[in-house]
Amino acid sequence: MAESFKYNNQKGTGGELHQSPENAKQMMTTAQGCPVKDDQNSLKIGSRGPTLLEDHILREKIFHFDHERIPERVVHARGYGAHGYFETYDAYSDLTCADLFQRKGEQTPVFVRFSTVAGNMGSPDLARDVRGFAVKFYTKEGNWDLVGNNIPVFFIQDAMKFPDLVHAAKQEPDRGFPQAQTAHDNFWDFTSLTPESIHMLMWAMSDRAIPRSFRFMEGFGVHTFKFINSSNEEKYVKFHWKPKSGLQSVVWNEALKINGADPDFHRRDLWNAIDAGDYPEWELGVQVFDQRFADKFKFDVFDSTKLIPEEDVPVQKIGKLVLNKMVDNFFAETEQVAFCTQNIVPGIDFTPDPLLQGRNFSYLDTQTKRLGGPNFTHIPINAPRCPMRHFQQDGHMAMHNPKGRVNYEPNSWDRDENNPRACATRGYQSSSQPVEGDKLRYRSKTFADHYSQAIQFYNSQTQVEQRHIKDAFIFELSKVQTPAIRERVVSHLMNVDESLAKGVAQGLGIPSLPEKAETAMPPQTDLKISDALSIQKNNPNSFKGRKLGILCCDNADDEVLNRIIEDLRKEGAMYEVVAPTVYGITTKAGKRIDGHQQIDGGPSVLYDAVAVVLSEEHAKNVVSIPEAKDFVADAHMHNKFIIYNEAAMPLIREANLEDKMDAGYLLVESSQTAPLIKKLRPLRYWER
């Protein structure tokens, strides 16, 4: 209520507020401001009806409700946003004249939206999918939207193919399923007929596609852009977001279970972290290179199915992004935010990458449709936070309406010396790019090498990561009903790595290996291993920002619990108490601890590591709960560290794990003083 009155009172909307704020808090009104006496009962004849058409209050309420939905995004429908700021580390005028990079330490407000791609709005967070990583910078010279993903390459090379890709990936049109997954015939049919997608498929089948948290994933601008400085010198640039808390993913079996236990896992995680004041941070990195590098690089830098290894062009960190405020209203901000790749600022420019060129058309078009007209820039989340002056006018829901007579340029009415008033010094100027050629529909030969970087990616993974990729192919293709499609995918894998192809074929029960898929050019097998492509090789070695699930029961030892909790606090980590009931437990010393989760609702998949702290008196009650057994069995299967006390042994035994206990099991006793949480820093015990 208070909000809506504030809105009515905004300048330029025309209305003055007549009620006092105290009144406003108490009184319900219609959207027209008419006080409502009874908001709970419709107007009827007699006490049992029928209801009268005359009831304008009922009609207005229901009518507005009927119109609450706007079309969800055709891709990236499920997303979650937060506010924050970007701080530039230094002045980078040598690289670009973009205003936000000119003054060391300057902060620019941002809004970021993370998303999955294929699923509809209500789909689960841990689908195997690419994640969107879209950032809107509200700079002093207009909005700059860096609309990226958490994977540095893409499935296709030309925007013309995007509708086909998306149709094939989303639910099949006749049956309307499967939802939020690529594990079906249409997706693998399309991609296996589109060899340019193989590099991206390797990423999509890797753990990159099942991040533990938005906070622990990288972001990439994907395309090559241009930086232009004030002397009009141009350089190419690729953008990277590096999470300060390091990279981390879950394992697939865990993802499947998280989707059931908490379909909102990622959004809840971001909400909780920001709510707790543990603000996630990323550094903005740039790979800057010139035409000479582009000419000698083995791939076309305008081909979005290729990346430039960090070992070839190092990532220079030029600033940091901090997310420190959740939205006040999900619809107003996260749903209505309209990212547009064509929103760039002086000092940044596009390249001819055919995917980027197509996007620059698509995003403006999609926002106009989605938000109902061209005035979506008037919605507060989309409005630039710098002065604006243009003569676009009218249209649906126009909120900023110029006063006076002047609505064209040049004119004789504005007593402005600069009329027309385009700004020659700061105005946006496209870089000059000499172009000539015939008009044709054509794919450049420089885009023809589809396998080399897929090989490089696979070779750069750890053994565990390679196994995960193999298992992911087997899982996905086992959902494909047409054997020929499964075999066609394996024939592409033959060009990537024969042992991978063999493993996948075995997992699918394919009796004999198919021939290698035909290639447009022979793959280069000598590309250097790039450690930056692996998640596990870049372990943050910290439990900061991670969460421990503590399964405990009545009479649990206070000293043990206190020690664990104090250790976690020092590390900057979080915890949840999982108890037989959500009421919680009473410790040995008689202290009440509230439960965050009841065992059934708090399976170990929700945590980065677990602790099982039981008491001799009550362990048997816990052992009798089947979900408690799953709690430790899953933690074991998912390579998690398991902190336990002696009294927890009956549960470990019940889960048949006593013989399998390894160095990933960490005994805790009240007398121990050595720091325990440090041992969780590798995040998983992969040796298991």
Annotated binding site: which residue ranges? 73, 113, 162, 359, 363, 370
Q: Which is nearer to ligand HDE, 206 or 304 (CB)?
A: 304
Residue 356 C-beta: closest distance to ligand HDE, Å: 7
Greatest CA separation for the chain: 90
Q: Which is nearer to ligand HDE, 126 or 147 (CB)?
A: 147
**Per CB under 6 A, 598 contacts ligand HDE:** no
Mask 492-531, x = binds ligand HDE (CB under 6 A)? ----------------------------------------
**Rounded to whole angstroms, what are the CA distances from 430 to 346, 349, 352, 433?**
8, 7, 12, 9
**Per CB under 6 A, 582 contacts ligand HDE:** no
**Per CB under 6 A, 115 contacts ligand HDE:** yes
Strand, coil or helix: what is 20?
coil
Q: How is residue 60 written in tokens?
A: 């207005």
**Interacting residues of 541 by C-beta distance below 8 A, sequence separation 6+:** 246, 681, 682
**Contacts of ligand HDE in 543-562 (CB under 6 A):** none
- Locate all alpha helices (DSSP H) within 297-451, ordered by sequence: 330, 354-370
Residue 72 C-beta: closest distance to ligand HDE, Å: 9
Beta bridge partners of 135: 112, 146
Using CB under 6 A, pick the residue from 57, 110, 127, 134 that binds ligand HDE.
Answer: 134
Residue 304 C-beta: closest distance to ligand HDE, Å: 6
- Say how many residues touch ligand HDE, by CB under 6 A: 26
**Per CB under 6 A, 148 contacts ligand HDE:** yes
**Per CB under 6 A, 468 contacts ligand HDE:** no
**Rounded to whole angstroms, what are the CA distances from 201 to 196, 457, 467, 470, 498?**
10, 11, 15, 12, 16
Q: Which is nearer to ligand HDE, 348 or 501 (CB)?
A: 348
Mask 45-84, x = binds ligand HDE (CB under 6 A)? ----------------------------xxxx--x-----
User: Taking the CB of residue 546, how many other CB atoms lie within 10 A of it?
Assistant: 26
Name which of 154, 134, 523 is nearest 304 in CA terms.
154
Task: Point out the annotated binding site for heme.
Answer: 73, 113, 162, 359, 363, 370
DSSP class of 335: I
User: To which H or E segment does residue 79 belong?
Assistant: strand 79-88
16-47 burial, b for 16+ CB within 10 Å, e for fewer? eeeeeeeebeeeebeeeeeeeeeeeeeeeeee
- Work out the burial of residue 519: count CB atoms within 10 Å of its CB; fewer than 13 is exposed, 13-18 middle, 19 or more buried: middle
**Per CB under 6 A, 332 contacts ligand HDE:** no
Q: How far is it, in rounded angstroms, from Cα 356 to Cα 341?
A: 8
Q: Which is nearer to ligand HDE, 145 or 634 (CB)?
A: 145
Residue 349 C-beta: closest distance to ligand HDE, Å: 16
DSSP class of 310: T
Q: Which is nearer to ligand HDE, 79 or 309 (CB)?
A: 79
Q: How far is it, in rounded angstroms, from Cα 629 to Cα 651?
A: 7
**Per CB under 6 A, 241 contacts ligand HDE:** no
Return the range that interacts with ligand HDE (CB under 6 A); candidates 148-156, 247-255, 375-383, 646-654. Answer: 148-156
Q: How far is it, in rounded angstroms, from Cα 607 to Cα 548?
A: 6
Using CB under 6 A, pick the residue from 119, 124, 132, 549 that binds ligand HDE.
Answer: 132
Active-site residue identified among 18, 23, 41, 76: 76
149 tagged catalytic: yes
Residue 578 C-beta: closest distance to ligand HDE, Å: 33
- Dihedral through CA 550, CA 553, CA 558, CA 562, nearest 10? 10
124-143 burial, b for 16+ CB within 10 Å, e for fewer? bbbbbbbbbbbbbbbbebbb
DSSP class of 291: H
Q: Which is nearer to ligand HDE, 369 or 421 (CB)?
A: 369
DSSP assignment of 389-425 equals ------STT------SS--SSS-SSS--SSSS---TT
User: Taking the CB of residue 172, how many other CB atoms lie within 10 A of it?
Assistant: 14
User: Taking the CB of residue 607, how many other CB atoms lie within 10 A of it?
Assistant: 24
Mask 195-224, x = binds ligand HDE (CB under 6 A)? ---------------------------x--
**Per CB under 6 A, 154 contacts ligand HDE:** yes
Beta strands 107-116 and 131-139, pairing class: antiparallel
Q: Which is nearer to ligand HDE, 304 or 536 (CB)?
A: 304
Using CB under 6 A, pick the residue from 95, 98, 147, 474 that binds ligand HDE.
Answer: 147
Strand, coil or helix: what is 7?
helix
Active-site residue identified among 83, 143, 149, 382: 149
Residue 371 C-beta: closest distance to ligand HDE, Å: 9
Residue 165 C-beta: closest distance to ligand HDE, Å: 8
Q: Which is nearer to ligand HDE, 367 or 615 (CB)?
A: 367
Using CB under 6 A, pick the residue from 162, 241, 451, 457 that binds ligand HDE.
Answer: 162
Residue 340 C-beta: closest distance to ligand HDE, Å: 8
Residue 369 C-beta: closest distance to ligand HDE, Å: 9
Residue 270 C-beta: closest distance to ligand HDE, Å: 14
DSSP class of 333: I
Q: How is residue 85 written in tokens?
A: 């700021």
**Per CB under 6 A, 159 contacts ligand HDE:** yes
Q: Which is nearer to ligand HDE, 149 or 182 (CB)?
A: 149
Compute CA 431 distance to the chain's CA centroid, rounded to the nearest angstrom: 32
CB 486 within 8 A of CB 558: no
**Contacts of ligand HDE in 221-240 (CB under 6 A):** 222
**Contacts of ligand HDE in 354-393 (CB under 6 A):** 355, 358-359, 362-363, 366-367
Q: How far is it, in rounded angstroms, from Cα 49 to Cα 572?
A: 60
User: To which H or E segment does residue 26 belong?
Assistant: helix 21-26
User: Taking the CB of residue 674, how many other CB atoms lie within 10 A of it?
Assistant: 7
Name which of 407, 521, 532, 509 is nearest 460 in CA terms.
532
Give the CB-nearest residue to ligand HDE.
Answer: 132
Beta strands 609-613 and 547-552, pairing class: parallel
Residue 298 C-beta: closest distance to ligand HDE, Å: 21
Q: Which is nearer to ligand HDE, 367 or 542 (CB)?
A: 367
Return the range that interacts with ligand HDE (CB under 6 A); candidates 190-198, 242-250, 351-359, 506-514. Answer: 351-359
**Contacts of ligand HDE in 289-328 (CB under 6 A):** 304
Q: Which is nearer to ligand HDE, 115 or 249 (CB)?
A: 115
- Residues of this chain that interact with ligand HDE (CB under 6 A) are 73-76, 79, 113, 115, 132, 134, 147-149, 154, 159, 162, 222, 304, 337, 339, 355, 358-359, 362-363, 366-367
Catalytic residue positions, numbered: 76, 149
